[in-house]
Amino acid sequence: MRNVVRICMVMMLFIVSCEKAIIKEDKQNPVAVFESLWHAMDTRYALFSYKKVDWKEAYRKYRPMVSDKTSTGELFDICTAMLDQLMDGHVALINGDQKYTYTGYYNSYPHNFNFGLLKEKYLPGINYQGILAYAFMEQFGYLHIPSFGEELTLADIDRVFEQLADVQGLIIDVRDNGGGGSLKVDRIVEKLIPEKMLLKYDIYKRGPGHDDFYPPEAKYLAPRHPVLAGKPLLILTNRRCFSSCNDFVLYMSELPNAVIIGDQTGGGSGTPFDYELPNGWVLKYAASMAVSVEGTNIEGGIAPDYFVSNSLDDESNGRDAIFKFALEHLQ
Amino acid sequence: MVSMGVFLSRQTVKDAGMSALVYQGTYPGMAARFSHTGRVTQEVGVRGAFGKLYGSKGSGAMQSKVFGFDYSILFTLRKTGRTRFELGATLDNYLHLREQLHYVNNRDYYECISSIGPTARYSYIFSWRGKQAGKNWEVNTRIFCPVGAALSTAYSAYEGQAGLHTSSLRTITRDIKLTSWNGLNRFYWNTGIKVRMRKGSGLSLHYQWEYYRIKEVSEVQSAMHSLTINYFFLL
């Protein structure tokens, strides 16, 4: 009996003490963190071929800059310089309050949107439903969707479209909309399409190779209380329309009664995934890409039907050339 | 015999497909076990537990849910006045669901392991003198090490990335594949002491350690210590 108890006690102590040896933490020195980041991107990122980035060359360039003496700040700067080569707004590196994300898809271009000016000059009687802003201009309507994120609720979408059900045409303004959840995009699109439609294909990463993908997954949507189906739709865009906003504009571009006006969208076709590095930094990367029904990769954005940009003269004189063009087009 | 109890678990998880960090946490659970002893001993057990695990660095946290269902059949190989050694087989079904609370699109991870293999149990019955006289005590220890398994995992394989998988029954059943020791290392050790108070009923205290390692493209490891207090009785 005593021997059995002794053996059990020894086994318990052995298991507890050995567990750390069995489930090991990864090394957390700067070299190990850099290697982990590079490897995670190498095996998981979906857009190397589309971006034409030589990731091995990036390793050869940046790896020698890292040693065990590299400080945390220096390591962050080296890693973000390497990630910046991808020019992807879905790629981010987060260390607590310190965050890197690529902003080149909009900050080198005119902003083309000033909501304060728009409200003051063109839409004084604007109404709000949650984050959605809407207005009536005689028989036409205006709807501003600032985000498809958590702050936009499905109930607010339904209520706004009930209000706008009787308009004869609608301006949908998605300028400065940085994206969010596809569920919100789908709910809005379901109110605008007349029949079940094929809207895009998602292509997910399958294996560690840069071009290991699953077959494209078709994305279909069917109408759901389609209150505005078939009516003229004018979609206002700028470079800050990114990610699921880019998807929304793509879906609208498939409709014969919709016209895209403004600047090219910011792109961002991939689905961003998260991964924690050994030192606790969070890496975000695109795990998929999307192509239009015609097979065009929409990562670089969607070109408008009518390219309109606010000139310096427009801005200094308090004009929104994009909105003005849309209103004239509608009338 | 039926035994029902509550347990406290300490779990450590490392899922290289999800994170480079090790996650740990302590949470409670419930277990029930039914056994029938005749020529052979047959046992059916169910258990469930859920709670939070925290990353070793940063502010990562995940919700962990563990469910188990097992069936064992044991044959007595050697029996003396006080000792008994049994050998048999166990079919163990184990589902581990995890939700990374700080991720946005790739939050759900799971392993569903249905494994079969040999199991062995050693029991020793004794009585204390003095105040505890007349009460039967039993110390037992049991091990289980599967040799084959049907396995379904989420992001442990890159294949799991397609379709933003949720841990639905459809997804789990679709991705099942058979594996052996090469693909899955699993080990389970349970040891405990029980005392019969009256008319076949009593209390028991068990310590259990279970470990698995899934060797896919990315590796998943989990170790769980559990301390269980059971009340058992005869039906």
Higher pLDDT, B143 or B173: B143
User: In B140-149, which positions are buried (b, 16+ CB within 10 angstroms) versus exposed (e)?
Assistant: bbbbbbbeeb
B184-to-A26, B45, B149, B175 alpha-carbon distances in Å: 21, 22, 8, 15
| ipTM here | 0.86
The gap from C-alpha B37 to its chain's centroid, in whole angstroms, comes to 22
**Cβ contact (<8 Å) for A4 and B122?**
yes
The 3 state secondary structure assigned to chain A is: CHHHHHHHHHHHHHHHHHHHHHCCCCCCCHHHHHHHHHHHHHHHCCCHHHHCCCHHHHHHHHHHHCCCCCCHHHHHHHHHHHHHCCCCCCCEEEECCEEEECCHHHHCCCCCCCHHHHHHHCCCCCEEECCEEEEEECCEEEEECCCECCCCCHHHHHHHHHHCCCCCEEEEECCCCCCECHHHHHHHHCCCCCCCEEEEEEEEECCCCCCCECCCEEEEECCCCCCCCCCCEEEEECCCCECHHHHHHHHHHCCCCEEEEECCCCECCCCEEEEECCCCCEEEEECEEEECCCCCECCCCCCCCEECCCCHHHHHCCCCHHHHHHHHHHC
User: Does B76 score more than 60 pLDDT?
Assistant: yes
Q: What is the mean pLDDT of residues A180-207?
A: 92
Residue B49 has a pLDDT of 96
Q: Write down the mean pLDDT value for chain A.
A: 92
pLDDT of residue A31: 97
Q: What residues in B contact A282, CB-CB < 8 Å?
A: 58, 60, 102
Percent of residues, chain A, with pLDDT higher than 70: 97
Q: Which of A166-170, A247-251, B131-135, B191-195 has the lowest mean pLDDT?
A: B131-135
A/B interface, count of CB pairs below 8 Å: 107
Report the pLDDT value the prediction gives residue B163, as an integer from 0 to 100: 45
Residue bearing tokens 């109404």: A127
Helix (H, G, I), strand (E, B) or coil at B99: strand
Q: What confidence score (pLDDT) does residue B137 get?
A: 86
Cα separation, A263 vs A32, in Å, equals: 42
Flag if A206 and B159 touch (Cβ within 8 Å).
yes
* Token pair for A298: 């929409």
| Mean pLDDT calculated for residue range B114-130 | 87
In this prediction, residue A5 carries a pLDDT of 66
In the prediction, which pLDDT does A250 show?
97
Residue of chain B minimizing CA distance to A33: B20
Q: Please, which pLDDT band fits residue B162 given cuts at 50, 70 and 90?
A: very low
Q: What local confidence, expressed as pLDDT, does residue A20 receive?
A: 76
**Dihedral sign computed on CA atoms, order B196, B197, B201, B206:** negative
Lookup result for tokens 């190498």: A42
Report the pLDDT averaged over residues B107-112.
Answer: 87
Taking every pair of Cα atoms in chain B, the longest distance, rounded to a whole number of angstroms, is 66
Fill in the amino acid letter for B95.
L
Residue A116 has pLDDT above 60, yes or no: yes
Averaged over A140-163, what is the pLDDT? 95
CB distance B31 to B2 below 8 Å: no
Asked whether the predicted pLDDT for residue B161 surpasses 70, the reply is no
User: What are the residues of chain A with a beta carbon less than 8 Å away from any beta carbon of chain B?
Assistant: 1, 4-5, 7-8, 11-12, 15-16, 19, 22-26, 28, 36, 43-44, 96, 204-208, 212, 214, 217, 271-282, 287-288
Average pLDDT of chain B?
A: 87
Phi and psi (nearest 5°) for A4?
-60, -45
Query: What SS3 class is residue B233?
Result: strand
Q: Which residues from chain A sit within 8 angstroms of residue B165, using beta carbons? A: none
Residue of A nearest to B24 (CA): A23
Which CA distances in Å does B93 have to A38, B25, B121?
A: 37, 22, 19
DSSP classification of residue B161: G
Q: CA–CA separation, A172 vs A141, rounded Å?
A: 9
Contact between B226 and B8 (Cβ < 8 Å): yes
Contacting residues for A36 by C-beta, under 8 A, at least 6 apart: A26, A277, A278, B20
Say if CB B3 and CB B232 are below 8 A apart: yes
The residues, ordered by sequence, that sit 6+ positions from B38 with a Cβ below 8 Å of its Cβ are none
- The pLDDT, as a whole number, for residue B157 is 39
Please tell me the least confidently modeled range out of A223-232, A241-250, B112-121: A223-232
- Which of chain B's residues have a Cβ under 8 Å away from the Cβ of A8? 139, 141, 191
- pLDDT at residue B134, rounded to an integer: 60
Say what percent of chain A tops pLDDT 90.
75
Alpha helices (H) along B84-200: 169-174
Task: Read off the pLDDT band of A229 (50, 70, 90).
Answer: confident
The model's pLDDT over B150-160, given as tens digits with 9 standing for 90+, comes to: 888 875 434 44
Instruction: Compute the average pLDDT of residues A140-145.
Output: 95
pLDDT exceeds 80 at position B169? no
- Bridge partners of B227, per DSSP, are B8, B207
Give the number of other CB atoms < 10 A from CB of residue B133.
Answer: 8
Residue linked to tokens 């600047």: A263
Residue B21 touches partner A, C-beta closer than 8 Å:
yes
> Is residue B70 a contact partner of residue B108, using CB atoms and an 8 Å limit?
no
Between these two residues, B168 and B34, which has the higher pLDDT value? Answer: B34
Residues in A touching B126 (Cβ below 8 Å): 1
Task: Judge whether A147 and A180 are in contact, CB under 8 Å.
Answer: yes
* Candidates B158, B189, B219, partner chain A, best to mutate (most A CBs within 10 A): B158
At B133, the pLDDT band (50, 70, 90 cuts) reads low
